[in-house]
Amino acid sequence: MATNANSAMRGYAAHSPTLIADIGDIPRQAGERDAAFWDRLRPQFTIGGGTAYLDNASYSPPPGLVLETQERWQHQLSANPANPMRLGELEPVRGDVAQVIGASENEITLTRSATDGFSLLLYGFDWHRGDEILYDRGDHPSIVGIIETLSARYGVRAVDAGMGGEVLADAEIVSRYSASLTTSTRLMILSHINAWTGRRLPIRALAELAHANGTLVALDASQSFGALQFSVRDLGVDFAAAPGHKWAAAGHGGGFAYYRRDIQRLIWPTVGGGYDPKSTSIFDQSARRLDRNAGQKNIPFLLGFAAAVGWQNAVGRGSIETRLLELSAYLREAFAGLPAVRLLNGADDAAASPLTVFTVDGHGARDVQEQLLRRDNVRIGLVGEGANARLRASPHIHNSLNDIDRAVAALARLSAA
Ligand SMILES: Cc1ncc(COP(=O)(O)O)c(C=O)c1O
């Protein structure tokens, strides 16, 4: 096992030798895991009722190691109640997350969710009437909601980049954001994966554009963290947030936010206080100050999150990304053979992600979702609501090709009826 996988597994291997041995026994080279490897991993997931679960972009079930770690900590906190904050155990979680996204542990805030991370960022700024936030209407509703609140409260102008859920070439995306930048744009908000098309945005080019304008960049990494490899430094973003319950497969209850060192001084704590801007302590002069005094944390979740990070490191982040893109390519090729299915992802591989967005001619998206689950025990996700809703299929490493074949057969039956 590689050194960083070893260090990230500290403490967990002793507890769960079999779960780790299943991974560690097999020589690992990024992208070279074979079908037998993924078959051996599958029993670590316990998806009930034989469902072909293809909605991992909404929620990815955690492997046994994570569930075990969380359960163990629930008991441990009761058995040994003398130290309820557990700061000694929680502190290293920052470093585990930081390593995955190419940041420093001093740049990580532990949060309850992606929305929590964006709230800390957006409500923590000193806003002035007339300041502008550049975003896209297709960004996640919980983030759009924060922007709308800032508009109502401080007179901040929300400017829509206007991608409108269309499949756009990278140059066109950059051009739309560019056309919407002004001298008042203080922040550009970017979804790493566009929810309406399942395509990766050209984050680095957009961040360069923003910085040339003196604008900071906030990345919603909810749909990339745990699925695709990236470094916040390479992408050039100033802030990023993601939850644990999606591709990281860490269960509900928490997440993280990254604050680039140089922007931390711009953000006031908005949950809890006790922050002394003049103090030179690492707690005041790091991203810790946004969570240190924020009350009790979900300790079992956060330690389970660290276990999930270590587990994915041991599986291999390159292997996970390759597998997800292969499963999604297989899925898209099969869906493309169904005459009633309209794929919305576009064709170029550079923008590929594990999210496949589609519609079915003659059927509303929610209706398709319900029928597939009821008749075929296949779970597909939804983006949006009502007439505009789209379907979203998102396989993770616990899925087999057979799960995808079941989705294809179910869609073929539905459109033939
Ligand atoms: C792209 C994106 N951003 C943000 C969120 C919100 O995540 P959380 O529930 O952790 O706040 C989601 C969850 O659906 C999402 O898909």
| Cα 379 to averaged position of ligand 1 atoms, centre (Å) | 19
Q: Could you give the CA distance from residue 139 to residue 197 in angstroms, rounded to a whole number?
A: 12
- Longest alpha-carbon distance in the chain: 69
Please identify, by atom number, the ligand 1 atom nearest to the C-alpha of residue 143.
4
Architecture of domain 318-416: Alpha-Beta Complex (3.90)
Token pair, residue 201, equals 């945005």
Angle between helices 299-315 and 317-336 (to 10 degrees): 80
The model's pTM: 0.94
Q: Could you give the CA distance from residue 256 to residue 373 in angstroms, rounded to a whole number?
A: 32
CATH (residue range 87-310): 3.40.640.10
State the pLDDT at residue 391. 98
**Pocket residue to mutate for ligand 1, from 55, 115, 225, most atoms within 8 A of Cβ:** 115
State the pLDDT at residue 1. 35
State the pLDDT at residue 23. 55
Q: Could you give the CA distance from residue 415 to residue 251 in angstroms, rounded to a whole number?
A: 34
269 CB less than 6 Å from ligand 1? no
Q: Dihedral sign for Cα 116, 120, 121, 125, please.
A: positive
113 CB less than 6 Å from ligand 1? yes
HSE (CB half, 13 Å, CA atoms) of 117?
A: 27
Contact 381, 314 (CB under 8 A): no
| Cα 1 to averaged position of ligand 1 atoms, centre (Å) | 32
Per DSSP, the three-state class of 316 is coil
222 CB less than 6 Å from ligand 1? yes
Q: How many residues are present in the chain? A: 417
Instruction: Give the DSSP letter string of 240-266.
Output: EEEESSSTT---SS-EEEEE-GGGGGG
**Tens place of pLDDT per residue across the chain (417 aa):** 333 443 444 444 444 444 554 555 444 554 457 888 899 899 999 898 999 999 999 999 999 999 999 999 999 999 999 988 898 999 999 999 999 999 999 999 999 999 999 999 999 999 999 999 999 999 999 999 999 999 999 999 999 999 999 999 999 999 999 999 999 999 999 999 999 999 999 999 999 999 999 999 999 999 999 999 999 999 999 999 999 999 999 999 899 999 999 999 999 999 998 888 899 999 889 999 999 889 999 999 999 999 999 999 999 999 999 999 999 999 999 999 999 999 998 777 778 999 999 999 999 999 999 999 999 999 999 999 999 999 999 999 999 999 999 999 999 999 887
313 CB less than 6 Å from ligand 1? no
Please identify, by atom number, the ligand 1 atom nearest to the C-alpha of residue 113.
10
State the pLDDT at residue 9. 44
243 CB less than 6 Å from ligand 1? yes
**Pocket residue to mutate for ligand 1, from 136, 140, 143, most atoms within 8 A of Cβ:** 140
Q: Interior CA angle at 285 toward 279 and 290, to 5°?
A: 110
In the chain, where the domains are located: 87-310, 318-416
Please identify, by atom number, the ligand 1 atom nearest to the C-alpha of residue 192.
1
